[in-house]
Amino acid sequence: MAADIITHFCRKTVINTLLRRVVHAVLFEVCALIILVPLMSHGFGMEMLHFGALAVILAICAMGCNMLYNQIYEMLEARFGWRRTPAIRVLHTLGFEAFFMAVALPLTAWWLAISVLDALLLDLTFSLFFMVYAFCFNWLFDIARQRLAQRHRR
């Protein structure tokens, strides 16, 4: 059973499985929260619990947006034969950040009782962090997935 799950997870198909998407999204968000909440709470002088609650809500929204965005992206990737080069990864990351900011901006302004402009500045700070983080995390995730697949085939 476990071997079947690993085999299923490690397939090299372009349209990936729901299991891979869930594992990717959860790992992505949990690792980001561990890094981001203490840094942003301290940097913006906010209570860690209040800021952490917003971060968890945004993480849940981000997981849903991520799964939808990547489903659409991977359909386009398959259709047009895109390769995951560094340039394509940068475009992928910028596209996701624009998509997610449309969701996060009003939520952030409301939760923190700040102006939309202040929320935009905070979301831009989040976006800068997540652009670098997403690029690195996704690249490492792909490498780990390929290595797991190669190990499992042996």
Q: Could you give the CA distance from residue 24 to residue 113 in angstroms, rounded to a whole number?
A: 32
The yes-or-no verdict on residue 9 having pLDDT over 60 is no
pLDDT of amino acid 7: 54
Estimate to the nearest angstrom the gap between the alpha carbon of 66 and the chain centroid: 6
Considering the entire predicted model, what is its pTM? Answer: 0.61
Residues of the chain above pLDDT 90, percent: 21
Q: Could you give the CA distance from residue 143 to residue 152 in angstroms, rounded to a whole number?
A: 14
State the average pLDDT for the chain.
Answer: 84
Q: Could you give the CA distance from residue 142 to residue 29 in angstroms, rounded to a whole number?
A: 16
Tokens (6 digits) for 140:
């490492």
The yes-or-no verdict on residue 37 having pLDDT over 50 is yes
Q: Could you give the CA distance from residue 74 to residue 71 in angstroms, rounded to a whole number?
A: 5
Residue type, 41: S
| pLDDT tens string 56-115 | 999 889 888 988 998 998 898 899 998 889 988 888 888 988 898 888 899 999 988 889
The yes-or-no verdict on residue 2 having pLDDT over 70 is no
